[in-house]
Amino acid sequence: MPGRELAEARRLIHAARREVDPRSEWSAELAACERRLDEPLRVALAGTLKSGKSTLLNALIGDEIAPTDATECTRVVTWFQQAAAPRIDLVARGQQRRLPVLRTDGHLTLDLGVPADAVERLTVSWPSSLLNDYTVIDTPGTSSNSRDVSERTLALLAPEDGPCEADAVVYLMRDLRDADVQLLQSIHHQMTIGAGPLGVLGVLSRADEIDGGRGDSLDAAYRVSAALAEAPELRGLHQSFLPVSGLLALRGQTLRQSEFLALRSLASLPPGALDAALISVARFTAPEAPLPVPAGERRLLVEAFGLFGIRLAVSMIRAGCADAPALSAELVRRSGLGDLRRTINIRFGERNEQLRAYSALSRLAHILNRYRSTATVELSRQVARSLADTHTFAELRLLSTIRANRLSEPDRARAARILGGEGIAPQRRLGLPAEASRAECRAVALQAIRHWRGQLDNPLLDPLTAATCRAAARSCETIIAAGN
């Protein structure tokens, strides 16, 4: 039944508000908790320093509104939300003020006017189709030399007191580092105690730089991301890993005609001559280099695309991208951004009601735990039962730990699909064509139930694997019940 989880969360919040003095701080917290049910899903971008979070955010939005240089702005948590017109709001030292919206060479320029440690909240409101569905939270890099910068990210994603403010996390990595494992473990711990996000999607970021940015970087990125997905250190801490080049995706969406013309001029050179110039940034930008593009424009191209991006764009032009729109589309396609958008929609977007309900119930449980009274004891029990027993919440929890169970690889893939990892439509869960009938879905679901119940006959099954099998069987039972 669509909206069932939201309706139950709303009912429990209303019941709590009836038991609380409307003039108290608890009443205000409960009102905020209820508002969460009607807001867009909150997705946080996290990762270590220089992992490419801001560039990827700009690529997802299709506009350069997140600062990517090492300024005070990149040291604070920044919330990006939908608005009819651009607006920037800053809360610092208890005071809220509006910042001017300034753009320099197409980039949004933010001047906080105060040190980063004085900022309590920074919100950028912007017209964007993505922000209609998601509020995106850009977090500072956690391996920063400044401890307080890392602590801002930890306070958001793994707070010591209270639930995480994000509904889901897109975690960016360039390679496997201790700082990544530690933060992912902290997020996972929050989830296990009912206070963390139910979705963590891994991204191998800056995929264009794998293998030193050579011509096969994107192919190498797929191999590296597959290895990260199976890394023992990360098992159970994420749902999957995707390779993405935020830079290529962004440049594809913001490509200027002047940049295309410069790249086309470079593409007119004999391959050997250009390859020799692209060995290094210094050689490519040298004023004496015998290239048909002025040195100043070459420097701008390197800043915008990087050497790999230039090589790739030139090869695409030589392969038939005859104009800027064609090159733009091909850059975006090769970047992996489309796969990321589809995965975010499947993993988070299709589950947005359940994720918002879970976050609101987690917040409600925290409020009731602090606001103890005889009148709210039974209500606290109801909230705890809802968080623990709601099957859609169980599906999301198990999807986040799917790689930690001991199923065979084919069964693990089948379980992930049945739990909604490839979409929540019955046909997608059962691996059937979209036009499959109810009768076909029922037959396949019954067969799957027998399979998963049979797995439970194994007396040596560990608790996580057993829970996965039970949930897969129940998901199939739900499909049958809905089709009757």
Do residues 345 and 129 lie in contact, with contact meaning Cβ atoms separated by under 8 Å? no
Number of H helices, E strands in the chain: 21, 11
Q: Does domain 4-248+338-349 have CATH number 3.40.190.170?
A: no
**DSSP for 106-148, written as a single string:** TEEE---SS-GGGEEEEEEEE--HHHHHEEEEE---TT-SSHH
Please give the Cα distance from 208 to 144 (Å, whole number): 23
Q: 21: which residues sit within 8 A by CB, 6+ positions away?
A: 27
What is the Cα–Cα distance from 16 to 400, expressed in whole angstroms?
Answer: 30
Per-residue pLDDT of 22-59, as tens digits, reads: 888 889 999 999 999 999 999 999 988 888 888 999 99
What residues have CB less than 8 Å from 439, skipping those under 6 apart?
A: none
User: What is the structure's pLDDT at 69?
Assistant: 65
Task: Dig out the tokens for 144 from the structure.
Answer: 């920063």
For residue 201, report the phi and psi dihedrals to the nearest 5 degrees: -110, 125
* Two structure tokens written together for 38: 């009607």
Short-list 83, 89, 72, CA closest to 146: 72
40: left (phi over 0), alpha (psi -120 to 50) or beta: beta
Euclidean distance between CA atoms 262 and 317, whole angstroms: 11
Rounded to an integer, the average pLDDT of 73-100 is 91
> Which residues pair with residue 137 across a beta bridge?
44, 79
Interior/surface letters 193-222, b for 16+ CB within 10 angstroms, e for the rest = ebbbbbbbbbbbbbbbbbbebeeebbeebb
d(CA 268, CA 283): 19
Q: How far is the CA of 90 from the CAs of 164, 257, 458, in angstroms?
A: 21, 36, 57
Distance CA 255, CA 134 (A): 25
Q: By the 8 A CB rule, do 293 and 262 touch?
A: yes
Report the pLDDT value the prediction gives residue 177, as an integer from 0 to 100: 83
* Residue 50: Cβ-neighbour burial (10 angstroms; 0-12, 13-18, 19+): middle
Identify the pLDDT of residue 131. Answer: 94
Specify the pLDDT at position 216: 62
Q: Which residue has the higher pLDDT, 455 or 376?
A: 455
Beta bridge partners of 45: 138, 170
Q: Which residues contact 54 (CB under 8 A, 6 or more apart)?
A: 66, 67, 68, 74, 138
Residue 46, judged by CB atoms within 10 A of its CB (0-12, 13-18, 19+), counts as buried
pTM confidence score: 0.88
CA angle in degrees (0–180, nearest 5) for 402-404-410: 60
φ, ψ of residue 186 to 5 degrees: the values are: -65, -40
Asked if residue 183 lies in contact with residue 46, where contact means CB atoms within 8 angstroms, the answer is yes
> Where residue 98 falls among pLDDT bands split at 50, 70, 90?
very high
Treating both helix axes as pointing N-terminal to C-terminal, what angle do 377-389 and 352-370 enclose, rounded to 10 degrees? 150
Note the pLDDT tens digit of each residue in 197-256: 888 898 988 877 776 555 566 778 888 888 887 788 887 777 778 899 999 999 999 999
Q: How confident is the model over 199-216, as pLDDT tens digits?
A: 889 898 887 777 655 556
Q: What pLDDT is stored for residue 425 in this prediction?
A: 94
Alpha helices in 129-205 (DSSP H): 129-133, 147-157, 178-192
Say if residues 277 and 284 touch (Cβ distance below 8 Å). Answer: yes
Closest by CA position to 236, among listed 179, 183, 185: 185
Q: What percent of the chain has pLDDT over 70?
A: 95
The predicted pLDDT at position 186 comes to: 87
Q: Is 431 helix (H, G, I), strand (E, B) or coil?
A: coil
> Do the beta carbons of residue 83 and residue 274 sit within 8 Å?
no
What pLDDT was estimated at residue 1?
A: 42
| Ramachandran sector of residue 216 (left: φ over 0; alpha: ψ -120 to 50; beta: rest) | alpha
Q: What is the mean pLDDT of residues 375-380?
A: 86
Q: Kindly state the tokens that stand for 247.
A: 């830079």
Q: What is the length of the chain?
A: 484
Domain with CATH 3.40.50.300 in the chain: 4-248+338-349
**Which sign, positive or negative, has the C-alpha torsion 365, 369, 371, 374?**
positive
Q: Are 176 and 204 in contact (CB under 8 A)?
A: no
Computed over every residue of the chain, the mean pLDDT equals 88
pLDDT in tens, 107-166: 888 888 888 888 889 999 999 999 999 999 999 887 656 667 788 888 888 888 888 899
Query: Does an H or E element contain 288, and which?
Result: none
447-456 core/surface letters (b: 16 or more CB in 10 A; e: else): ebbebbeebe
